C-alpha cells in the first residue's frame, strides 16, 4: 500500500487506517477480544500499518488489545492515540500519555491527538495553550512524534496552531457526512494538515448491510446515530441502491467504493473499523480502487442526496 506523509512530520501513514474503537468494547455489542486481535493482525498483514486508538476506548482496553495483536511488529507500525477532553490540563496530558504508552507496550506514540476540544461532554474548560504546552513537551522528549486534534472546528484548529505544529485533524467524514468540507478542509489544505476521517463508512451504513428496518442490539451506540434515524436512513438506502452499479463496474464492494472515494479527496485518509479479519482485509483492498474523475463526480452527487438533508449539528450522535 502507498505511504503518505502525515502533515509536515516525518511520520508516514497508509491511506487506510485501522480503527479500533470497537476493540475497547464499551458502547459496542458482541465484541470479543480474540476477534479483535485477529482483526487487527489481519489489517497489518493486508498492508494497513497505521492503527488509530484512544485512551477512552474501553479505558485503555483498545490500546492493550493492539499491543497483544501487533506488539511483535511495533517497529513496522504507526500508532495514533488520543487524550480525552477530561485530561487536558498539563499534568493530566503527561499522565494520560504515559498510561497509553504502557497500554500499547511502547516507548513512543507516532501521533498523539486531542480527542475532543476542552469543555466537550461537560468537561472543565482548559486553555488550549496549556494543553499544547504539554504536547510540545512530550514531543520534545520523544514520547510522541506528531501532534493532532480530533473533532475540532476550523476556529479551534487555528487557535491550537498558534501554540505548536498540528499535523492532523480527525473529523467525522464520509460520503454521507461531509460537514468538515465546509469548515476545516480549506484550512487543512492551506497548511498541509492531514485529514484522518473517522466513521468513514458511516458506522457501517455505507457497507449496505443494514436493511430498511434494521434494529441494533441493546448497548450499540449506533442506534443514536443521526444517519440511522427517520428520513436520513431512507435517503441513505436510496443512495446505496444508486451506488451499487458503480461498485459492480469496479468489481468492488460498496464499502470499498466509499473508502476509495474518500481517500481520493484532498489530503484525506480513512480510518476504517472492523469486527472481523475478513472485513479488515476487504477494507485494505479499497486502496487499490482507482476511480475515474467522472465516477468521483457521480458518487459525489449520489452522496449529496443524504447530506443535503442533514441539519447543522456537527455531532453525529443524539447523546
CATH number at residue 36: 3.20.20.100
Q: Name the DSSP class of 303.
A: H
CB contact at 8 A, 246 and 239: no
Tell me the C-alpha to C-alpha distance, in Å, between residue 235 and each of 53, 241, 286: 31, 10, 24
Distance between CA 77 and CA 12 in Å, rounded? 10
Residues with catalytic function = 57
Tell me whether residue 59 is in a domain: yes
In a domain, 20, yes or no: yes
What is the model's pTM? 0.95
The conformation of residue 42, written as its DSSP 8-state character, comes to H
Decide if 27 is inside a domain.
yes
Residue 298, in any domain of the structure: no
* C-alpha to C-alpha distance for 38 and 4, rounded to whole angstroms: 26
197-231: burial string, b at 16+ Cβ within 10 Å, e else: bbbbbbbbbbbbebeeeeeeeeeeebbebbbbeee
Range of the domain at 129: 4-204+256-290
The answer to whether residue 244 sits within a structural domain is no
* Total domains, the chain: 1
Using CA atoms, how far residue 204 sits from 143, 252, 262, in Å, is 34, 16, 15
Instruction: Give the pLDDT of the chain (319 residues) as one tens digit per residue.
Output: 999 999 999 999 999 999 999 999 888 888 999 999 999 999 999 999 999 999 999 999 999 999 999 999 999 999 999 999 999 999 999 999 999 999 999 999 999 999 999 999 999 999 999 999 999 999 999 999 999 999 999 999 999 999 999 999 999 999 999 999 999 999 999 999 999 999 999 989 999 998 777 778 877 878 888 999 889 999 999 999 999 999 999 999 999 999 999 999 999 999 999 999 999 999 999 999 999 999 999 999 999 999 999 988 888 877 6
Residue 243 lies in a domain: no
229 within domain boundaries: no
In a domain, 224, yes or no: no
- Alpha-carbon distance of 159 to 246, in angstroms, equals 41
CA dihedral angle for residue 88, residue 160, residue 4, residue 80, rounded to 10 degrees: 0
Amino acid at each position: 500500500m502507498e505511504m503518505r506523509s502525515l502533515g509536515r512530520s516525518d511520520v508516514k501513514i497508509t491511506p487506510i487506517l485501522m480503527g479500533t474503537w470497537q476493540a475497547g468494547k464499551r458502547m459496542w455489542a458482541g465484541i470479543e477480544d480474540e476477534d479483535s486481535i485477529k482483526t487487527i493482525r489481519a489489517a497489518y498483514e493486508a498492508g494497513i500499518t497505521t492503527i488509530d486508538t484512544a485512551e477512552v476506548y474501553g479505558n485503555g482496553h483498545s490500546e492493550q488489545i493492539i499491543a497483544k495483536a501487533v506488539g511483535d511488529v511495533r517497529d513496522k507500525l504507526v500508532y495514533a492515540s488520543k487524550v480525552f477532553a477530561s485530561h487536558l490540563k498539563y499534568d493530566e496530558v503527561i499522565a494520560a500519555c504515559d498510561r497509553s504508552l504502557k497500554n500499547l507496550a511502547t516507548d513512543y506514540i507516532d501521533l498523539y491527538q486531542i480527542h475532543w476540544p476542552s469543555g466537550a461532554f461537560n468537561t472543565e474548560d482548559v486553555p488550549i495553550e496549556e494543553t499544547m504546552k504539554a504536547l510540545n513537551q512530550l514531543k520534545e522528549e520523544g514520547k510522541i512524534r506528531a501532534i493532532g486534534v480530533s473533532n475540532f472546528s476550523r476556529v479551534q484548529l487555528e487557535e491550537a496552531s498558534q501554540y505548536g505544529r498540528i499535523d492532523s485533524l480527525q473529523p467525522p467524514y464520509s460520503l454521507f457526512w461531509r460537514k468538515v468540507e465546509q469548515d476545516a478542509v480549506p484550512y487543512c489544505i492551506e497548511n498541509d494538515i492531514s485529514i484522518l476521517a473517522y466513521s468513514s463508512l458511516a458506522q457501517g451504513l455505507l457497507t449496505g448491510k443494514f436493511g430498511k428496518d434494521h434494529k441494533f442490539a441493546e448497548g450499540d451506540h449506533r442506534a443514536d446515530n443521526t444517519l440511522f434515524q427517520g428520513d436520513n436512513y431512507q435517503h441513505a438506502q436510496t443512495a446505496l441502491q444508486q451506488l451499487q452499479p458503480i461498485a459492480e463496474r469496479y468489481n468492488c464492494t460498496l464499502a470499498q467504493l466509499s473508502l476509495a472515494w474518500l481517500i481520493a479527496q484532498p489530503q484525506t485518509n480513512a480510518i476504517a473499523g472492523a469486527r472481523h479479519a475478513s472485513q479488515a482485509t476487504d477494507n485494505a483492498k479499497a486502496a487499490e480502487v482507482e476511480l475515474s474523475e467522472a465516477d468521483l463526480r457521480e458518487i459525489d452527487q449520489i452522496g449529496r442526496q443524504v447530506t443535503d438533508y442533514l441539519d447543522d449539528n456537527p455531532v453525529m450522535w443524539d447523546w
